[in-house]
Structure 1
Amino acid sequence: MGNILPRNQGWEGDDRYLQVEFRLMDTDKDGLLSTGELIKLLLALGFGGDEEKTELLLKEMNKERDDTISEDEYVEAVKSNEEILIKTSKLRAIFGSFDDTNDGKVSKSKIKKGLRVMEYDVDEAMEKAIEETDSDKDGFVTYDEFLGKHLKNKGFIPK
């Protein structure tokens, strides 16, 4: 199986993309994802499985055999299950395509330029969305901010 996680020097070989995904969905900050939180995360990432299939995946991921999974269990399960890794890789790949500096963040100007290269019309609404995604207003968008904006827009985590 090839590595579906974005390959770049700064994030290659570690699990930061997966850790960010877990931590954003862990809205109660207890270090665990419930069945419901895991279902929401996998759906938000594009897994597309139904609730029954996702519950079976939770049981497969869950080493403690309770109704939650830890961050380590999530990271290990995603990396070791090709179906999950492939079906949830779209947002990682999109962000990774902009992150050519390999440091886990992308300047807003680089995002706009990249979108224009892909022949998207970067209009006022898109400019505003990019500005809003940079939540700490440092001029860069991190994967945390990128994914957080996506999860909020889809209603998976509170705004």
Structure 2
Amino acid sequence: MAEEAAAVASRCQEAQETGVLNLSGCALVEVPTTALYLFLKDVEVTKIDLSDNQLKRIPPKLLSTFSKVQTLIVKNNMLASLPKQLVDLHCLTKIDISMNKLTAIPALPSSAVYVDLSKNAITEIREEEIEIISNSREFILVGNQLDNPSKTKIGHLNHVLV
């Protein structure tokens, strides 16, 4: 536990200089939002990497605290959903949510041009999700078990990888 806390503190110090918060592989089971706020309240964080942890949720406070984030990487966790506040991140252009447990495409900001949802548990694409997919330049759904009607719905979109 002390080792993980020291790693988070060290990476927060790096983020103060770079604007990049890299907490990948820190064995986190939850995001230490209070500590992050204290360390980085006056820092414009443009990239957050929480990949390769054991997170089951992303706290909404993280998204509101770092509302100028451009890249969010949360791959290889245990996320079944994302906070609805994600749609309010108007600077977010790249999001990697691959290798989680999502069963549906989350609401995303229209600014998201690169979206990786590969290797989740998505089986169906609903009509309201087509617009989310259409707004992006690259949308990756490889490794999901999409049903045939869903594949047909997005078959004409060249920027979608299934």
Establish whether TM, by shorter chain, passes 0.5. no
Report TM bin, short chain.
under 0.3
- TM normalised by structure 1 equals 0.24
The structure where strand makes up a greater share of residues is: 2
